[in-house]
Amino acid sequence: GENVEQHPSTLSVQEGDSAVIKCTYSDSASNYFPWYKQELGKRPQLIIDIRSNVGEKKDQRIAVTLNKTAKHFSLHITETQPEDSAVYFCAASMADSWGKLQFGAGTQVVVTP
């Protein structure tokens, strides 16, 4: 089955700096890659996703890049703010998998003022 690895496990950044989280996946059949943000005690919420026919997607301060050849994808957060502090999970899903998401282990991001 699919295996997703996520790095780093923790990330401390100064407010205003950029944060990058990287994930690798094992199954080349994976074609959908969402990123979820989970604040303490809250539900996971989708912040951005990308499909395998696209190499990059951007939404304001957040961007995701996908390298299908290398089987890795990354989340980039620019101009970080304290409210970006949360756990971020990457995930991968294959077509015809009934929507099964394989999550990475998560990255705890702490933005210090």
Work out how close the CB of 16 gets to other proteins at its nearest, in angstroms, rounded to a whole number.
27
Query: How many Å apart are CA 41 and CA 44, to the nearest integer?
Result: 10
Query: How many Å apart are CA 35 and CA 26, to the nearest integer?
Result: 17
| CB-CB contact of 70 with 80 (8 Å) | no
Work out how close the CB of 43 gets to other proteins at its nearest, in angstroms, rounded to a whole number.
4
Work out how close the CB of 106 gets to other proteins at its nearest, in angstroms, rounded to a whole number.
5
Q: Which is nearer to other proteins, 18 or 45 (CB)?
A: 45
Q: Which of 5, 32, 10 is nearest to 85 (CA)?
A: 10
Residues that bind other proteins in the complex, under the rule CB under 8 A? 31-32, 34, 36, 42-46, 49, 51, 87, 89, 93-101, 103-106
Backbone φ and ψ for 87, nearest 5 degrees, come out as: -100, 130
Q: Which is nearer to other proteins, 10 or 67 (CB)?
A: 10
Question: Residue 70 CA to chain centroid, in angstroms?
Answer: 16
Work out how close the CB of 72 gets to other proteins at its nearest, in angstroms, rounded to a whole number.
18
Q: Which is nearer to other proteins, 91 or 111 (CB)?
A: 91
Q: Which is nearer to other proteins, 15 or 56 (CB)?
A: 56
Query: How many Å apart are CA 15 and CA 80, to the nearest integer?
Result: 5
